[in-house]
Structure formats: C-alpha cells, structure tokens
Chain A
Amino acid sequence: MKSLIMGNEAVACGALKAGLTFFAAYPITPASEIMHELAGREPEIAFVHAEDEIASIHMAIGASLAGRKAMTSTSGPGMSLKQEGIGLAHMMEVPLVVVNVQRVGPSTGMPTLPAQGDILQAAHGSHGDYVPIVLYPSSVEECYRYAIEAFNAAEESRSPVILLLDGYIAHLQETVDLDTVAFDLKSRTFAPLGRGRRHFTGLLARDGVPRTKDTAYYREWYARVKTKMLEAAAHYRFFDYLKNPASDTLIIAYGITYRVVSPLRGSFSLFKPVRMFPVLEDEIRAAAAEHDKIVVVEMNDGQYRGEVQKVLRREVLGVSLLGGTISLKEIQERLREL
C-alpha cells in the first residue's frame, strides 16, 4: 500500500521489519521522530527513553547481548557521546544499529539545520583502530531498505552498524510502497546471555581471558576482526552509478546532496555511494577511470573528497556546501567555477 511518510518514520518501519525488539534513545532534533514512531509499542518491543545518549547506546548493547535486535538513534551532539559505546560494541563484537541524523556542528552548532559533517566521525569517531560499516540512504524508500540492511550487516559482522542520514532526508516526505521492497533477514549468530560461561569485555581478550600486554595477540586479533568486517561488508556493496557517455566529469554525492544533483544527470555522470565505509574502492575506481574530472559534492568541508582522493591517488575536486542550506543553482555555479 502506498503511503506518505518521512525518512525517520521509514527508518523505524525498516527496523521493525528487520526484527527490532529493543530501542533506547534520548530526544534530539532532527532524529526524534524515530523515537516517536517506536514509543508505545510495548510489549512487542522494549523501549527506553534513557537519561542520556551514553546510557541509551549501552542499554542497546546489553539488550543485544541478551538476544534482542537493538537500535539507538541520535544526531551529532548525541553521536559524539555515543562513541564510547560504539568502541565497546566493536571490541565485544555486539551487533546493533546506530542512526545518526546529521545537523550542523561542531557542538550545538546551527540547531537544527541539516549537514553531512559527521562522515569521518562515522569511520573514526571512537578511539583506536576499527573497521565500521556505514550506510547512507538518499530517499525515504532507501531509509526503509537500508535500515533493514543495516540490521543484516550488524548481525553478519557482529558489530555496531551506522546508518547515516541528514536532516533533509530524515524529514523528507515521499509517497512510497514499502510492501514492494524485497529483502532477506540475517539472524543472530551467537547465543544470548545465560547460555554459557562466556566473558564479554572491552579489554583485549582471548576466549574471555584478558590479554592486555600481548602485542602479538593484538595483531592476530585485529587481523581477524578486520577480515571479518571486510568479508561481511562485501555483501553490502550498495551504490548507484549513472553514466553519461557525453560527460568527462563524474559527480560523487550521497544523501540529500545526491538528490539535489540528480537533475544534472543529463550533463554529468553521477555516482552515489550508499555504503560509505568501508569505501567502495573498486566501484569508485572503475567509475573514475571513465572520467577526466571527479567532483565530490557534499555538505561538509571535503570529508568524503579526501576519502575518494585516497582511493584514486589523483586530484579530486570538491563542492562544499556549508552552513545548512543547499540549492541546485549554487551547485551549478560552483561546478562552472571548477
């Protein structure tokens, strides 16, 4: 059935479809509608309006260990607080989904104009080395679809998967028929708490026994976890590539920025990464090889441009749209200036 819903609601619907039975969060604009949509559904799901962002992600970690599919949602200021839990979930290998609806930062910034400024935070926000999976939808239907895939990727990788939105996509209202979206569901790969004598810890540990001074084991452990993440991520290679044979320029954009540049497909080739991290290296290289100029259009100061440049090892141009507003006219003018 077709219905008119907003991106945040579609995330909640997708999460429920994926089997979410635990949700904890703290109110923050522009992410709160996810919370509103999931509130009042007890006992089908456990819902906690927690005392803060740190509590909500740690509650989700506990619930996941106890066997539930769990999620928390927030925006930039809350995402900064959740980094502690994201690191813990990577270390303990706990599946969960963390939604970050981006707004202009740093700090309280420009409440609550949309932004795409948390791209590198999604990859590196918690301390230490880890390899996260990050998905970024660019339509209401994709919010639904990739919320489901975020849960699948979380289960398959046993890690906290980040679903990035921006305030525009989160509040975008579109007519969609969610029933037509096809998907598979991944189920839990380890027993819930109470079934063994296991020890889950944020320390480096082998079979539950801390190995905090063992460099050789750290290297072995990290190699295993990195391989695990890359192998799981390989099943989630989501992107769109619209090639325009008449154009020598490839525009890379994601989220709302992709939607805004879409009308330019008559003049340029367009590439939209949905899996932001691990970066789709092969796909971006292949698309870039067919073009002279590569331009990343994004609502930040070149965060993903740097990632693309790292992959391509050649100059990548950028259009940075700072300060919370976006217009096709400005993008066209800035493209002409390049």
Chain B
Amino acid sequence: MNYKDYIKWERMPTTWCPGCAIGTIFKQTTFALAEMGLAAEDMTVVSGIGCSGRAAGYFNVDSVHVTHGRALPVAEGIKRANPKLKVIVFSGDGDLVGIGGNHLLHAARRDVDLAVICVNNGIYGMTGGQMAPTTPTGEKTLTSPHGTAYAPLNIQGIVTSNRRHWFARASTFHIVHLKKVIREAVEHPGFAFIEVMGFCIENYGRRLGFKSGHEMLAKLKSDYTLKAGPDGLLGDHELGVVKNDGQSG
C-alpha cells in the first residue's frame, strides 16, 4: 500500500493554516497505515471537534466526525459493534482531555481496543486561542490574559493510572518516532493513547512571540528528547512509550 491511498485527495487542501502541525501528524499516520498495509475495509477513523477533528474527513476510509468531546464513546460503540474493525481516534487535546475528559478516564479504564492520536497544541485553536487544559502555566491566552494560573493536565498520569496501560508521547518534529508509535498503537490490542506534541502558530504561537510554524517546530526539537531507558514514566520533556500488560508489576 502507498500512503497516498489513505488520503481523500479530492478534499485537499485541508482546512489547516500554513505552518500548522496537524498536517505532519496526519501524514505520518498515513505512512504508518501504509506500512501496516491496513485495508480501508478493515478500519475507520473517528474525530471530535476542533482543528484536529477535521482529520477524519481527510482519510480515504469510512470516517465519522462527531460532537465535541465524544469521539471516544462513538469509537467505543463502533469497536464493540464490530471488533474486527481497527478504530483510530484522531482529535485534539481540548476535545479528548478537556470536554471529553470523562470519556478518556473510562475508555482507558475499560481498556477499549482503540488507537488514540491526540494532537496536543496546548490551545483551543479553532475558536481563536483560548486556554486549554494543557496550556503551560503562566502562558497568556484569550481567556488567561494575565497568564494561566493552573498546571497543565497530566495526560500520562491519567492513562497510566490503570494497571494495564499503553501511553506514548511523540512530537511533530521527531517524525520517525511518531510513525513508529502510531503503528505500535494501532497494533496494540487495547487502549493505546499517543500524546503528540503539536503547535498552533496562528492562534497561539504569534501571541507568544514566534514568527513562524517552523520556529515552533524547532522548539520541539530543542525541548524534547527520546527517553533513554525502557522503564518508568516519561519526564515532562521526554518522548517514548510507557506500557504495562497488566501482568507485570
């Protein structure tokens, strides 16, 4: 299979701004799908609302674009109705861990066989740049004009609080690793959640002083490193996979 087979070319160009991270993550997803040779008949993609939520419609498979925060329950309904389908959820941080946070707690707890690709750009981009549950402390947004008072949500902590878990952090810059963990997530028989560090230049980065999406990409390069050892949780600026099959300690 070729990655081009997984893209609905008639829908191009996408709605995403020039310099946006989502296109890269979308493309790496199609690379991973092509590598696995997954047939369109054997998969579906579900998205919620937001910029990342538009991704479902760009995959050349049967896809579903639902209400804000509800990608996980719709995906769970699909998976339970037809366990043979590979169900991929592609959505944003505001959607999956903000308004859809309760569903994340419980889909992870039930270990539903889903591959979740969560684009974490730390902001509500589509609505203009409001504070997200993932916005770093102190950063100014439209709804935190004096700087966010809160600490960002610890997504890794939520997912790995379940005895059996599969969590990865990847970044838009480290694309070889990103593609690898997407494939691993899709092949993992259970709930697999990837937090992909993205960025939003137009409705976030510019307010922070970045001149271009490329500058934000370069910051991911300098901020994040691949975790060296296999054990333990990821540090705040580490990329890698944290997993437990539920049998071992």
Q: Does A51 contact B (CB under 8 A)?
A: yes
Would you call B103 and A51 a contact (CB within 8 A)? Answer: yes
- The answer to whether A200 and B73 touch (CB under 8 A), given A62-B78, A193-B78, A194-B41, is no
A110-131 to B contact mask, C-beta < 8 Å, 1/0 = 0000000000000000000000
- Across the interface, do B78 and A65 meet the contact criterion of CB distance under 8 Å? yes
**Are A196 and B62 in touch, CB under 8 angstroms?**
yes
Total number of A-B contacts with CB less than 8 angstroms? 132
Are B65 and A194 neighbours in the complex by a CB distance under 8 Å?
A: no
B81 near A68 with CB under 8 A, answer yes
Name the segment of A53-61, A139-147, A319-327 touching the other chain: A53-61
Inter-subunit contact B65/A202 (CB<8 Å):
yes
Q: Is the CB of A48 within 8 A of B80?
A: yes
Chain B interfacial residues counted at CB < 8 A? 36
Could you tell me the distance between the alpha carbons of A22 and B46 in the complex, rounded to whole angstroms?
19
A255 to B43, CA, bound (A): 44
* Measured CA separation A52–B104 after assembly (Å): 12
User: Is A50 at the interface (CB under 8 A from chain B)?
Assistant: yes
Residue of A whose beta carbon sits closest to that of B70? A58
Assuming the contacts A58-B77, A61-B77, A70-B77, asked whether A197 and B106 have C-beta atoms less than 8 A apart, the reply is no
Q: Given A66-B82, A202-B66, A194 and B42 touching (CB < 8 A)?
A: yes
**Bound CA–CA A284/B211 (angstroms):** 67
Q: Are B76 and A200 neighbours in the complex by a CB distance under 8 Å? A: no
Is A274 at the interface (CB under 8 A from chain B)? Answer: no
What residues of chain A lie closer than 8 Å to B40, measured between beta carbons? 194, 197
Contacts of A13 in B (CB 8 A): none
Contact A59 B73 (CB under 8 A): yes
Segment at the A interface, from B28-36, B53-61, B133-141 = B53-61
- Could you tell me which residues of chain A, from 86 to 114, have a CB within 8 Å of some CB in chain B? 87-88, 92
Q: A62-B81, A65-B78, A66-B77 are in contact. Are A197 and B67 (CB under 8 A)?
A: no
Inter-chain CA distance A67–B83, complex, in Å, is 12
The answer for the CA separation of A21 and B80 in the assembled complex, in Å, is: 10
Chain A residues with CB under 8 Å of B80's CB are 22, 46, 48, 59, 63
Residues of A close to B64: CB separation below 8 A:
62, 65, 92, 193, 199-201
A residues near B60, Cβ cutoff 8 Å: 197
Q: A51-B105, A55-B102 are in contact. Are A88 and B77 (CB under 8 A)?
A: no
Q: Are A50 and B73 in contact (CB under 8 A)?
A: yes
Nearest chain A CB to B127's CB is how many angstroms away? 15
B177 CB to closest chain A CB, in angstroms?
Answer: 30
Q: Is A311 an interface residue (CB 8 A)?
A: no
Q: Provided the pairs A66-B78, A201-B57 are in contact, do residues A195 and B62 lie with their beta carbons within 8 angstroms?
A: yes
CB neighbours (8 Å) of B117 from chain A are none
- Any chain A CB within 8 A of the CB of B212? no
Which stretch from A29-37, A158-166, A203-211 is at the chain B interface?
A203-211
Residues in B whose Cβ lies below 8 Å from that of A64: 77, 81
Question: In the assembled complex, how far is the CB of residue A81 from the closest CB belonging to chain B, in whole angstroms?
Answer: 11
Mark contacts of A64-91 with chain B using CB atoms, 8 A cut-off: 1 yes-contact digit, 0 otherwise: 1111101000000000000011011000
Question: In the complex the two chains form, is A59's CB within 8 Å of B66's CB?
Answer: no
**A54/B70 in contact, CB under 8 A:** yes
B75 interface hit (Cβ, 8 Å) = yes
The one of B8, B74, B77 in contact with A22, judged by C-beta atoms closer than 8 angstroms, is B77
Inter-chain CA distance A59–B73, complex, in Å, is 5
Chain A positions within 8 Å of B242 at CB level: none
Note all chain B residues with C-beta closer than 8 A to A209: 10-11, 57
Determine the residue in chain B with the shortest Cβ distance to A201: B65
Q: How far is the CA of A65 from the CA of B40 in the complex (A)?
A: 16
Candidate in B40, B76, B105 with the most chain A CB atoms within 10 angstroms: B76
Chain B residues with CB under 8 Å of A208's CB are 57
Roughly how many angstroms separate A88 CA and B41 CA in the complex, as a whole number? 24
- A84 touching B70 by the CB < 8 A rule? yes
A24 contacts chain B at the CB level, 8 A cutoff: yes
Q: Tell me, yes or no, whether B44 is within 8 Å of chain A by CB.
A: yes
In Å, the complex CA distance between A67 and B74 comes to 13
Smallest Cβ-Cβ distance to A55: which chain B residue: B73
Nearest neighbor of B61 in chain A, beta-carbon distance: A197
Check if B85 is an interface residue, CB within 8 A of chain A. Answer: yes
Chain B residues within 8 Å of A193, by CB: 44, 62, 64, 78, 82, 85
Q: Residues of A contacting B148 with CB < 8 Å?
A: none
For B160, the chain A residues whose CB sits under 8 A away are none
Look across to chain B and name the residue whose beta carbon is closest to the beta carbon of A91: B67
Given contacts A22-B81, A63-B81, A88-B66, 17 further A-B contacts (CB under 8 A): A55-B70, A55-B73, A58-B66, A58-B70, A62-B75, A62-B78, A84-B70, A87-B67, A88-B70, A194-B43, A194-B62, A197-B61, A197-B62, A199-B57, A199-B65, A200-B65, A201-B57
- List 24 contacting pairs A-B, 8 Å CB cutoff, sorted by A: A46-B80, A46-B81, A50-B73, A54-B70, A54-B73, A55-B76, A55-B102, A58-B66, A58-B67, A58-B74, A59-B76, A61-B77, A65-B81, A66-B77, A66-B85, A67-B81, A85-B67, A85-B70, A194-B82, A197-B61, A199-B63, A200-B62, A200-B64, A201-B65
Partner-B contacts on A (CB < 8 A):
21-22, 24, 46, 48, 50-52, 54-56, 58-68, 70, 84-85, 87-88, 92, 192-203, 208-210
Binding site for A on B (CB under 8 A): 8, 10-11, 40-44, 46, 56-57, 60-67, 70, 72-82, 85, 102-103, 105-106
